[in-house]
Structure 1
Amino acid sequence: MCFSAGASFAAGAVISATGVATMRKARRPDQRLFAAIPFIFGLQQLSEGVVWVTLRSGEQAALQDAAAHIYLWAALVIWPVVVPLAMFLMERVRERKLILTGLLAGGVTVAAYYAYRLILFSVTPQIEGTHIIYRNDFPGGFGDIIFVLYLAATILSLFISSVSRMWVLAGLVLVSFIIAVFMFTQVLTSVWCFFAAIGSVVIYWILSAPDKRPVTAAAG
């Protein structure tokens, strides 16, 4: 989340509990990764709560650094892989599965790009107003391309999916991203993850839908 430590901890607890419910809702093995998304979101929000507390206190620098890296690894490394992979695993339509393969490859590229930077360069979280900004000394290069690949992996893959009701989650994440860009440009990493976490309830709703996709269209 982004607005306060209390809000981050509250959201983390609620979303994690929702994640437990969604994981229980998964009926098939190929749904398990998708069902785990809210739980991962919850842990991510809890880690930012720790960042808030340590920044306010001015103590526990090591804990602050660890929590900030957990949050950023989830935002920049885990999500661009987990989202398209979850869509790929659930997809049965051959043509869509091929597209998702390409999006997954793009997501892996993004994850490798950010993992390299998070390992070798420093990140310094700072409170500005009611938000946290994660300042870094990452080297430039390919930033625009990586950003496009990130959006393709985390948003376009949702629109490609043929899973019933998935378009609702895709639309929610897209609208959330647009709002975050225009209203909170400088704190996009933090704010967008908060908006996207709202989709946890939608994920439970998606998993509750009867599966009407044709099995005959499955890729071999």
Structure 2
Amino acid sequence: MCWSAEADAAAGAVVAGLGTVCLLRVRDPRRVPLAALPLLLGVHQLVEAAVWLGEDGRIGPGPALAARTVWALIALPLLPLLVPFGVWCAAGPGHPRRRTLGALAVLGAVVAVPLAVAVLRRPVSAEVRHHTLAYAVGVPAAPLLTAGYLLATVGALLLSGDAALRRLGLALGAGAVVCAVVWRLAFASTWCALAAVAAVLLLGWAGGTGPPVPAGAAGRGPGAGK
């Protein structure tokens, strides 16, 4: 999907369309944050199409920099915020792992802060490498933050207790390892392309409903007890 501006635009349009359908299928409001993920990832691919245009010299340096910055903001701080928070919301009060899911949502927020600072404090650069894009953001303590990023996102999906979300977590976890080993410097680009493909797994899940809410359990925040 990350091979060219045209490939990203086509993939982004398809995934964004599926994301819109995903949101329209939602019956349980608690599933809205996570059901929005495919739409966000579709938009992300469309933004990357603009990054390609900048690298090809088909748009000016100002719009190209804006596209790289938006791409990095979605890929780095926004995803570790949205995914574990979405899983926590979908679990609902009374979920046996609600405390753990709340902790992963907090971890995602903690990881997102230095990632957002890194994106905003200096220009994001991108370079075409072997038919994909390698981004340079200058993230401090990158191995530690990457570990926290994957633990918050993939970990929340695997611990969700929902079979569809576990399948998504397994797909993304395996894909992240493959991307890291095969693409190395192009890890972020290929990881998000895989995430956009895997997000279609949420289509069927979005139309479901969560477990019944126990009496008196509503209103608990992240990290609340079981």
Task: Using structure 2 for the length normalisation, give the TM-score.
Answer: 0.89
Structure 1: runs of 5+ lacking an equivalent: none
Question: In 1, are the aligned partners of 2:84 and 2:101 still within 8 Å (CA)?
Answer: yes
Question: In 2, are the aligned partners of 1:22 and 1:36 still within 8 Å (CA)?
Answer: yes
- Structure 2: which amino acid aligns with 1:85? F
Task: Determine the structure 2 residue equivalent to 1:63.
Answer: 63
Q: 1:186 to 1:52 in 2, by over 3 A?
A: same
SS of the equivalent of 1:165 reads helix
Task: Determine the structure 2 residue equivalent to 1:91.
Answer: 91
- Structure 2: which amino acid aligns with 1:158? L
SS of the equivalent of 1:134 reads strand
What's the CA shift for 1:190?
Answer: 0.2
What's the CA shift for 1:139?
Answer: 6.2
Q: Identity over aligned residues, as a percent?
A: 26
What's the CA shift for 1:164?
Answer: 4.2
Question: In 1, are the aligned partners of 2:28 and 2:208 still within 8 Å (CA)?
Answer: no
Query: Deviations along 1:18-49, whole A, 9 cap, x unmatched?
Result: 01100001102111111111000011000000
- Structure 1: which amino acid aligns with 2:43? L
Question: In 2, are the aligned partners of 1:164 and 1:206 still within 8 Å (CA)?
Answer: no
Matched length = 217
For residues 1-220 of structure 1, what are the structure 2 equivalents within 5 Å? 1-57=1-57, 59-92=59-92, 93-136=94-137, 138=138, 140=140, 142-209=141-208, 211=210, 213=211, 215-216=213-214
Task: Using structure 1 for the length normalisation, give the TM-score.
Answer: 0.91
Higher relative contact order (CA 8 A, sep 6+): 2
Measure, in 1, the Cα distance between the counterparts of 2:180 and 2:28: 36
Measure, in 2, the Cα distance between the counterparts of 1:120 and 1:191: 24
Structure 2: runs of 5+ lacking an equivalent: 221-226
Measure, in 1, the Cα distance between the counterparts of 2:31 and 2:212: 16
Measure, in 1, the Cα distance between the counterparts of 2:108 and 2:139: 20
- Structure 1: which amino acid aligns with 2:71? Y
Question: In 2, are the aligned partners of 1:123 and 1:134 still within 8 Å (CA)?
Answer: yes
Greater displacement, 156-165 / 34-43 = 156-165
Q: Which has the higher helix share?
A: 1
